[in-house]
Structure formats: structure tokens, C-alpha cells
């Protein structure tokens, strides 16, 4: 690992953090250490970072804002690439928004609203980064990224930088081509339309009020734990299985929203994994439905 660190330092790729705990960088506030965390200072340095990691055979993980991510208690053996300030820039060109992959998706929706642009209101309650939203085809309130994206600049696992148009991303429910074609979203271009600022603000305020009433946002969580099965709601199935309030260690099924697992204070990743498995088996036994996690688990087991 020291040889790799020396090479990264020589290439001046950006900030390097050794044996860095992942917990502060995830919305669950859970996770062991990463061998090395790299915060590239530019797109070019990100490309250089990926080249060095690939040539050295070092496993690497991309980290945005840490939502929808569970890092195991033993942590990540290899490198974590975190998109920092260099990837948080936003530029408006009329109704077209150029947004860095590291920018907050929620904050982007607020900025769009202030510009009188409609189409991003659904994002006002989605935690995480622009890059993560593009990768997952994040959505809410009957809309998702596929409705508004124009194109994305992606660094492929091979090191090639490409522009992927909307069709290239092969969007489906919470899915994109990037799930099976490794790549890093560096920037996304969204095309919105002009609307009434008051109506946009009212819609976002209504979404926020509903979110505060129905989601346990005062405690660390990762948003929805499971995808909604076709024609059904995961939260309803979990609640009807009698699992609201079910607790394993420091992880608990929220009493406010059954598809949220909360960290009550000292939860371990294993607590969450055990609770996820218990929910899946309970729902399968009761309803014959296989719940598929929406969160991604990474790290040494």
C-alpha cells in the first residue's frame, strides 16, 4: 500500500487520507476504515488516479455523499475515491443545468427552483450526490432522473472519458447501464423547463412537509432500504409483517416509515445486515415476496 501511496503523491492527484474511517462519510454513520481515501483535485487528476489504481491492481470504490451505502465493520481494503469540491460546481445555461457529480442533489433542486426551473422538484427529498442520482436513476413523487437528464460525462473503468446521452444510459427503475458497465459519473447535464416560481416553491414545500412527517430524518439512515416490488410498496409489506420497531443491536426498523432502517446511536454494519436479512425472510414467509435491497453493501466481510 505504501508503494501505491507514494505513486499517488508523486502524481499529485489530490488529498490522501490513510486508514480513514468511512463512518463520517455515510448517511448511516456506519463503517470501518478504508486503506486510503483519495480526493482528486480535478477531472484530469481523477483520470490519473483511476489509471494508477488500475495499473497497480488496487480495488477501488467511488464515494459520493454516502447515501444508499453500507460499509462493513471491517472497512474497505483498497482505495476509496471521494468526489470533493472539484466536482461540486454548477452552471446554468437557460433551462440547461451542468452539475458536478459531487454536488448535493437536494441543493441542486433548490437552485433550480430559484432560477424558476421546473422538473427537479422530485429531488428535493433525495439525499446523495448528482452522480449517485444519475447512477441509480433516483426518483420520487412520480418522476426520476431519466425524465430530465440530457447527458452525462463518464470516466469509464478503462480510463476513457466519454459523453453518454440519455439513451446510452439505458434507464429502468433504479437502474442504469452503469450498474454493469463500470464508470464514474463526473458531470451531468439536465434539461428543465421554465415554470412559475411560486408553484415550484409550493410543490417543494409540500414534499418537504410530507418528508418530515413520514420519514425519520432526525436519525442516521440511508433512505429506503428496499426497492418497491412491482405493483407493491416495500414499506407496506414490512409493516404488515409486524416489523415496525424491530431492533437488532443498534439498528431498528423505523416506527415512522417501515422501509427505513435507522442507526439509533451505536449500530454496527452487521446489525443492519442482520436486520435486512430478518426483514427479507419475514416478508418472504408471510407474502412470498423477495425484497431486493436498494442500498449497496461494500467492504471486507
Q: Which residues are catalytic?
A: 174, 224, 294
CA atoms within 13 A on the CB side of 39: 14
Nearest CA among 127, 122, 115 for reference residue 91: 115
SS3 call for 12: coil
Q: Which residues make Cβ contacts (< 8 Å) with residue 217, sequence separation at least 6? A: 211
Nearest CA among 148, 146, 151, 104 for reference residue 128: 104
CA angle centred on 159, ends 35 and 14, rounded to 5°:
45
Residue 193: count other Cβ atoms within 10 Å of its Cβ. Answer: 10
Nearest CA among 62, 65, 60, 61 for reference residue 26: 65
SS3 call for 288: coil
CA–CA separation, 11 vs 17, rounded Å?
A: 15
CA angle centred on 60, ends 55 and 65, rounded to 5°:
145
Sign of CA dihedral 115, 124, 152, 42: positive
Nearest CA among 153, 280, 261 for reference residue 216: 261
What residues are paired with 263 via a beta bridge?
A: 251
Q: Which residues make Cβ contacts (< 8 Å) with residue 29, sequence separation at least 6? A: 23, 220, 263
Nearest CA among 50, 82, 77, 51 for reference residue 66: 82
Amino acid at each position: 500500500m505504501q508503494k501505491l501511496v507514494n505513486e499517488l503523491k508523486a502524481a499529485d492527484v489530490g488529498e490522501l487520507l490513510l486508514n480513514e474511517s468511512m463512518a463520517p462519510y455515510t448517511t448511516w454513520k456506519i463503517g470501518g476504515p478504508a486503506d486510503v481515501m483519495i480526493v482528486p483535485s480535478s477531472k484530469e487528476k481523477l483520470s490519473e488516479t483511476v489509471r494508477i489504481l488500475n495499473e497497480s491492481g488496487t480495488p477501488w470504490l467511488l464515494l459520493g455523499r454516502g447515501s444508499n451505502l453500507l460499509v462493513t465493520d471491517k472497512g474497505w481494503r483498497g482505495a476509496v475515491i471521494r468526489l470533493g469540491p472539484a466536482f461540486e460546481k454548477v452552471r446554468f445555461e437557460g433551462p440547461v443545468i451542468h452539475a458536478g457529480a459531487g454536488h448535493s442533489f437536494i441543493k441542486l433542486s433548490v437552485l433550480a427552483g430559484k432560477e424558476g426551473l421546473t422538473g427537479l422538484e422530485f429531488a428535493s427529498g433525495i439525499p446523495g450526490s448528482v452522480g449517485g442520482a444519475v447512477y441509480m436513476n433516483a426518483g420520487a413523487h412520480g418522476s426520476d432522473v431519466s425524465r430530465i437528464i440530457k447527458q452525462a460525462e463518464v470516466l469509464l473503468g478503462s480510463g476513457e472519458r466519454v459523453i453518454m446521452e440519455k439513451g446510452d444510459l439505458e434507464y429502468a427503475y433504479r437502474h442504469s447501464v452503469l450498474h454493469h458497465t463500470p464508470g464514474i459519473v463526473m458531470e451531468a447535464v439536465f434539461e428543465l423547463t421554465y415554470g412559475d416560481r411560486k408553484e415550484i416553491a409550493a410543490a417543494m414545500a409540500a414534499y418537504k412537509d410530507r418528508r418530515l412527517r413520514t420519514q425519520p430524518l432526525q436519525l442516521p439512515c440511508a433512505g429506503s432500504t428496499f426497492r418497491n416490488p412491482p405493483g407493491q410498496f416495500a414499506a407496506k409489506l414490512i409493516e404488515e409483517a409486524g416489523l415496525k420497531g424491530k431492533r437488532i443491536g443498534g439498528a431498528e426498523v423505523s416506527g415512522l416509515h417501515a422501509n427505513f432502517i435507522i442507526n439509533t446511536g451505536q449500530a454496527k454494519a452487521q446489525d443492519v445486515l442482520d436486520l435486512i436479512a430478518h426483514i427479507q425472510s419475514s416478508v418472504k414467509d408471510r407474502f412470498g415476496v423477495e425484497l431486493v435491497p436498494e442500498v449497496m453493501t461494500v467492504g471486507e466481510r
